Amino acid sequence: MDEMGKRSPTDRTQRSEVGPSTALAYLDPQYWDQRFSSEEHYEWFKDYSHFRHLIQEHMNPKSSVGICSRIVGNVSVAVEKMQKRLLSKGYIDIKVLEADMLDLPFGNSCFDVVIEKGTMDVLFVDSGDPWNPRPTTVSKVLAMLEGVHRVLKPDGVFISISFGQPHFRRPLFESPEFTWSIEWKTFGDGFHYFFYILRKGRRLGDAKGSGQRSDIPSIYLLQEELEGEDYIFRTDVDELDN
């Protein structure tokens, strides 16, 4: 940046090497095919070390865990790379599958924990007004949530790591067909990310966040935030051991 705080041409060039020219590219299968053909690994939001303590509260060595990715399109390259990385680290019991997050190919009640990190956020890229998302967006999000609810075991936990604030997410999480309780925590320095915990079969009349204030300044998944990818941090499989 220059002394006025504006991005220099160099900054813009480096930025474009990471993110697409428009947020809508995240919905384009070709974008992901090209990106993952050359990129080793990149994660949205903070790396695992920032929310490890929150994850570990809801898992044990015997937990059956499903993790939803936000990638769209032909992801065979990404799947193959991730499987090789995991095998090289000795994680022989972890399977990487290509599937549609709106139509999960798993049986009922098969996971103790389901985790998504930025998956639902990408469904809101072209949602319009965050207070009144387009019906097509709502349908997709509910389809994802219905699938997660279905594959969770009784008392299973759905963990959603997101930009979306509670006043945007709760109307969807609290849809009448779901039986889960809802709470949330935050993590991050300066900019906070939301860590939602939804436990199947524990729905309450008025679920509230775990000590969180309700007057958090409005932050939403805006196009300019997506385009910058300034919130992307590299992740390391080695951290799974910790």
Longest dimension (CA), the chain: 57
Q: What is the pLDDT of residue 61?
A: 85
Cα–Cα distance between 141 and 135 in angstroms, integer?
Answer: 10
pLDDT value at 31 more than 70:
yes
User: Which of 234, 180, 189, 143 is CA-nearest to residue 58?
Assistant: 180
User: Packing angle between helix 76-88 and helix 29-38, nearest 10 degrees?
Assistant: 30
Please tell me the predicted confidence (pLDDT) of residue 55: 92
Residue 187 — φ and ψ, nearest 5°? -150, 165
Indicate the domain borders of the chain: 62-200
Residue 104 CB coordination number (10 Å): 21
Residue 23 DSSP code? G
Dump pLDDT digits (tens) for 60-95.
888 999 887 655 565 677 788 888 888 998 988 888
208 — pLDDT class (breaks 50, 70, 90): very low
Percentage of the chain lying above the pLDDT 70 cut: 70
- Classify domain 62-200 at the CATH topology level: Rossmann fold (3.40.50)
pLDDT tens profile 135-177 = 999 999 999 999 999 999 999 999 999 989 999 999 999 999 9
